[in-house]
Amino acid sequence: MEETDLTWHEPSVSREKRQQLMGHRGCVAWFTGLSGSGKSTVANLVDTRLHGQGIHSFLLDGDNVRHGLTASEQMLAGRGEDFASRFGLGFSPQDREENIRRVGAAAELFASAGIVTLVALVSPYRKDRAAVRQQICDQLGDGAFLEIFMDTPLATCEERDPKGLYKKARAGELERMTGIDDPYEPPEKPEIHLQGEGFSAQELADQVVAVLLEVAGRTAS
Protein backbone atom coordinates (compact mmCIF):
# COMPACT_ATOMS: atom_id res chain seq x y z
CA MET A 1 0.00 0.00 0.00
CA GLU A 2 1.32 3.42 -0.97
CA GLU A 3 1.00 6.52 1.20
CA THR A 4 -1.29 8.01 -1.45
CA ASP A 5 -3.77 5.18 -0.79
CA LEU A 6 -4.39 6.46 2.73
CA THR A 7 -7.40 8.66 3.44
CA TRP A 8 -8.17 10.70 6.53
CA HIS A 9 -11.58 9.69 7.88
CA GLU A 10 -13.21 12.58 9.66
CA PRO A 11 -14.81 11.30 12.91
CA SER A 12 -18.56 11.66 13.22
CA VAL A 13 -18.13 13.01 16.75
CA SER A 14 -16.27 16.31 16.48
CA ARG A 15 -13.61 17.56 18.84
CA GLU A 16 -15.96 20.34 19.90
CA LYS A 17 -18.65 17.84 20.87
CA ARG A 18 -16.17 15.77 22.87
CA GLN A 19 -14.99 18.86 24.70
CA GLN A 20 -18.56 19.89 25.38
CA LEU A 21 -19.15 16.50 26.99
CA MET A 22 -15.96 16.89 29.04
CA GLY A 23 -16.91 20.39 30.09
CA HIS A 24 -13.54 21.84 29.12
CA ARG A 25 -11.02 22.09 26.29
CA GLY A 26 -8.14 19.71 25.72
CA CYS A 27 -4.53 20.78 25.31
CA VAL A 28 -0.96 19.50 25.59
CA ALA A 29 1.29 20.73 28.41
CA TRP A 30 4.84 19.65 27.56
CA PHE A 31 7.31 19.63 30.48
CA THR A 32 10.95 19.75 29.37
CA GLY A 33 14.15 19.89 31.39
CA LEU A 34 17.14 17.91 32.55
CA SER A 35 16.84 14.54 34.23
CA GLY A 36 16.27 15.23 37.92
CA SER A 37 14.92 18.72 37.31
CA GLY A 38 11.53 17.84 38.79
CA LYS A 39 9.43 17.42 35.64
CA SER A 40 7.67 14.21 36.67
CA THR A 41 7.22 15.32 40.28
CA VAL A 42 5.54 18.58 39.32
CA ALA A 43 3.56 17.02 36.46
CA ASN A 44 2.14 14.39 38.82
CA LEU A 45 1.10 17.08 41.28
CA VAL A 46 -0.54 19.01 38.43
CA ASP A 47 -2.38 15.87 37.33
CA THR A 48 -3.66 15.32 40.88
CA ARG A 49 -4.77 18.93 41.23
CA LEU A 50 -6.57 18.93 37.89
CA HIS A 51 -8.32 15.67 38.74
CA GLY A 52 -9.48 17.24 41.99
CA GLN A 53 -10.89 20.18 40.02
CA GLY A 54 -12.92 17.86 37.83
CA ILE A 55 -10.60 18.24 34.84
CA HIS A 56 -10.01 15.16 32.70
CA SER A 57 -6.22 14.88 32.49
CA PHE A 58 -3.58 12.28 31.75
CA LEU A 59 0.19 12.19 32.20
CA LEU A 60 2.52 10.68 29.61
CA ASP A 61 5.73 10.27 31.58
CA GLY A 62 9.02 9.80 29.77
CA ASP A 63 10.05 6.69 31.68
CA ASN A 64 6.61 5.12 31.44
CA VAL A 65 6.23 5.50 27.67
CA ARG A 66 9.59 3.78 27.18
CA HIS A 67 8.01 0.64 28.63
CA GLY A 68 5.69 0.38 25.63
CA LEU A 69 5.07 3.13 23.10
CA THR A 70 8.76 3.93 22.69
CA ALA A 71 10.35 0.74 24.05
CA SER A 72 14.03 -0.07 23.55
CA GLU A 73 15.48 -2.87 21.43
CA GLN A 74 16.11 -4.85 24.60
CA MET A 75 12.48 -4.58 25.68
CA LEU A 76 11.31 -5.68 22.23
CA ALA A 77 13.77 -8.58 21.93
CA GLY A 78 11.02 -11.11 22.52
CA ARG A 79 9.42 -10.08 19.22
CA GLY A 80 12.52 -11.04 17.27
CA GLU A 81 15.80 -9.33 16.41
CA ASP A 82 14.56 -7.75 13.17
CA PHE A 83 11.45 -6.26 14.81
CA ALA A 84 13.45 -4.99 17.80
CA SER A 85 16.12 -3.34 15.65
CA ARG A 86 13.51 -1.69 13.41
CA PHE A 87 11.22 -0.30 16.09
CA GLY A 88 13.23 -0.16 19.33
CA LEU A 89 14.45 3.26 20.43
CA GLY A 90 17.58 4.26 22.29
CA PHE A 91 18.98 7.71 23.05
CA SER A 92 20.71 8.75 19.85
CA PRO A 93 19.55 12.11 18.41
CA GLN A 94 17.54 10.23 15.78
CA ASP A 95 15.92 7.95 18.35
CA ARG A 96 15.11 10.88 20.62
CA GLU A 97 13.45 12.60 17.66
CA GLU A 98 11.29 9.54 16.99
CA ASN A 99 10.52 9.19 20.69
CA ILE A 100 9.17 12.74 20.77
CA ARG A 101 7.27 12.25 17.51
CA ARG A 102 5.49 9.16 18.83
CA VAL A 103 4.65 10.71 22.17
CA GLY A 104 3.51 13.89 20.44
CA ALA A 105 1.18 11.93 18.17
CA ALA A 106 -0.32 10.15 21.18
CA ALA A 107 -0.66 13.44 23.08
CA GLU A 108 -2.47 15.00 20.13
CA LEU A 109 -5.05 12.19 20.17
CA PHE A 110 -5.62 12.61 23.91
CA ALA A 111 -6.00 16.38 23.57
CA SER A 112 -8.37 16.07 20.61
CA ALA A 113 -10.63 14.00 22.87
CA GLY A 114 -10.81 16.94 25.31
CA ILE A 115 -8.18 15.67 27.75
CA VAL A 116 -5.63 18.01 29.30
CA THR A 117 -2.56 15.99 28.36
CA LEU A 118 0.60 16.36 30.40
CA VAL A 119 3.90 15.20 28.90
CA ALA A 120 7.11 14.96 30.95
CA LEU A 121 10.12 14.27 28.72
CA VAL A 122 13.68 15.56 28.76
CA SER A 123 13.17 16.34 25.02
CA PRO A 124 16.54 18.10 24.79
CA TYR A 125 16.48 19.48 21.23
CA ARG A 126 14.60 22.63 20.23
CA LYS A 127 13.87 21.42 16.71
CA ASP A 128 12.10 18.30 18.00
CA ARG A 129 9.98 20.30 20.44
CA ALA A 130 9.20 22.82 17.70
CA ALA A 131 8.10 20.02 15.37
CA VAL A 132 5.68 18.53 17.88
CA ARG A 133 4.34 22.01 18.70
CA GLN A 134 3.69 22.62 15.01
CA GLN A 135 1.97 19.26 14.58
CA ILE A 136 -0.35 19.79 17.53
CA CYS A 137 -1.17 23.41 16.76
CA ASP A 138 -1.84 22.57 13.10
CA GLN A 139 -4.40 19.99 14.20
CA LEU A 140 -5.86 21.57 17.33
CA GLY A 141 -5.26 25.29 16.86
CA ASP A 142 -2.96 27.92 18.31
CA GLY A 143 -2.68 27.74 22.06
CA ALA A 144 -3.23 23.99 22.22
CA PHE A 145 0.46 23.37 23.03
CA LEU A 146 2.16 24.82 26.08
CA GLU A 147 5.89 24.37 26.60
CA ILE A 148 6.81 24.24 30.29
CA PHE A 149 10.50 24.67 31.06
CA MET A 150 11.63 23.10 34.33
CA ASP A 151 14.71 25.27 34.79
CA THR A 152 16.88 23.52 37.36
CA PRO A 153 20.68 23.93 37.38
CA LEU A 154 22.70 20.91 36.32
CA ALA A 155 24.52 20.89 39.68
CA THR A 156 21.21 20.53 41.51
CA CYS A 157 20.05 17.77 39.17
CA GLU A 158 23.33 15.93 39.73
CA GLU A 159 22.97 16.29 43.49
CA ARG A 160 19.46 14.83 43.35
CA ASP A 161 20.33 12.14 40.78
CA PRO A 162 17.25 10.03 41.66
CA LYS A 163 18.09 7.29 39.14
CA GLY A 164 21.86 7.37 39.51
CA LEU A 165 22.30 8.36 35.88
CA TYR A 166 24.66 11.27 36.43
CA LYS A 167 26.92 9.15 38.61
CA LYS A 168 27.12 6.52 35.87
CA ALA A 169 27.75 9.16 33.21
CA ARG A 170 30.55 10.78 35.20
CA ALA A 171 32.10 7.34 35.69
CA GLY A 172 32.00 6.65 31.95
CA GLU A 173 29.41 3.89 32.39
CA LEU A 174 26.63 5.70 30.53
CA GLU A 175 26.83 7.47 27.17
CA ARG A 176 24.65 10.21 25.70
CA MET A 177 23.60 11.60 29.07
CA THR A 178 21.87 14.91 28.53
CA GLY A 179 23.79 17.70 30.24
CA ILE A 180 27.02 15.68 30.46
CA ASP A 181 28.07 14.47 27.00
CA ASP A 182 24.89 15.33 25.11
CA PRO A 183 23.49 18.88 24.91
CA TYR A 184 20.29 20.26 26.37
CA GLU A 185 18.85 23.19 24.42
CA PRO A 186 16.62 25.21 26.77
CA PRO A 187 13.41 26.75 25.44
CA GLU A 188 13.73 30.32 24.25
CA LYS A 189 10.11 31.39 24.81
CA PRO A 190 8.27 28.78 26.90
CA GLU A 191 4.68 29.46 27.84
CA ILE A 192 5.58 28.64 31.45
CA HIS A 193 9.07 29.05 32.93
CA LEU A 194 9.46 27.24 36.26
CA GLN A 195 12.46 27.93 38.47
CA GLY A 196 13.46 24.57 39.91
CA GLU A 197 15.23 26.14 42.88
CA GLY A 198 13.68 28.37 45.50
CA PHE A 199 10.15 27.01 45.18
CA SER A 200 8.51 23.83 46.41
CA ALA A 201 7.12 21.33 43.92
CA GLN A 202 3.62 22.23 45.11
CA GLU A 203 4.22 25.94 44.48
CA LEU A 204 5.45 25.16 40.98
CA ALA A 205 2.43 22.94 40.35
CA ASP A 206 0.14 25.76 41.46
CA GLN A 207 1.66 28.02 38.79
CA VAL A 208 0.98 25.43 36.09
CA VAL A 209 -2.54 24.61 37.26
CA ALA A 210 -3.56 28.27 37.19
CA VAL A 211 -2.57 28.53 33.53
CA LEU A 212 -4.06 25.19 32.49
CA LEU A 213 -7.42 25.96 34.09
CA GLU A 214 -7.56 29.13 32.00
CA VAL A 215 -6.57 27.29 28.82
CA ALA A 216 -9.12 24.56 29.51
CA GLY A 217 -11.82 27.16 30.03
CA ARG A 218 -12.43 26.42 33.70
CA THR A 219 -12.00 28.43 36.88
CA ALA A 220 -10.56 27.13 40.13
CA SER A 221 -13.04 25.86 42.70
Residues with active-site annotation: 123
Q: How far apart are CA 208 and CA 202, in angstroms?
A: 10
DSSP for residue 16: H
CA atoms within 13 A on the CB side of 22: 25
Beta bridge mates, 182? 178
Q: How far apart are CA 106 and CA 124, in angstroms?
A: 19
Nearest to 24 by CA among 55, 57, 52, 51: 55
Q: How far apart are CA 210 and CA 218, in angstroms?
A: 10
Burial bucket for residue 161 (CB in 10 Å: 0-12, 13-18, 19+): middle
